[in-house]
Structure 1
């Protein structure tokens, strides 16, 4: 049989264990709250970093796009003097106009160089200039010649020819350019020159 003294000791021991349990539970709650606070802070920081990264990517994209545009304009500018000379002397063009942009309603057409002759020759040449030619560049020139007369009805009776000029043009792309009946031209040491085989026959669009 448990004596009063032993019972008191048991009750006291239970009370101590209860207090320790309460303290431990409070510490656990505090740690959980601290962990939750840290996780929330990390989530906020991660969201901030994500937004900053997205903003940086947008700015970088704009810078890269601007650099590409500037390099394209730089390439066109280097080639223009010799390009004008060849268009006038070799193709007998009377008018040579760089950077032509025309708009009809919501449609727009941009041509790097437009040249034409109104005499008995009655021809038009559109020149597309690229620093590094890709398939999209050839597609772009095809699109220009297909839409040209819509934007320039005054030239509807002229024969229309295309010239693709590039600083870098792979042999595969050169073959594609020639297969479409376009003149291939290279830009080397700031000089523009026609680069086609002797048997080449241009296509009038």
Structure 2
């Protein structure tokens, strides 16, 4: 049953859209949105649908700057601060959840990676991780993926922001023909996420 509400953070109110499976669940995936987008992005919605069907809870978090109606993203430190505050509230609200996974698309994936250990995540799901600004491969953000946690990266093979290389604990799946928005086949992207979670033993279905 979907439920959305605002959560106060040091950077203003964020919003959490919560979708829970019909049966008992022990794993929760928390997803953030892209810099200029929101939680209705096709890949985020498809992942929500696939995972709630598989028996996981899914919460999509809207950052305070987007709740306030701004499109220009807040500084990285502000995004991370708000995300940590939201995760603390969510953990208190869902005390029976034993496993928390964090993720998101693009900017949201970067926030999840940077804060994953601080918020006690078991793993990371990074959709359309922006390895570098378009045309600037020398400005790599690959170090953000080195969380030491099991991490899934799903990127289009035509993404102008680049595609990360796999590494220890980091599985990278290239989606053929997809660009940064991953709009070509959202159910296919969601199936990749669901299968990875199943392989980790984190989904009952």
- Comparing both chains, which one has the higher relative contact order based on Cα–Cα distances under 8 Å and sequence gaps of 6 or more? 2
Larger Rg: 1
Q: TM-score, normalised by structure 2?
A: 0.36
Q: TM-score, normalised by structure 1?
A: 0.36
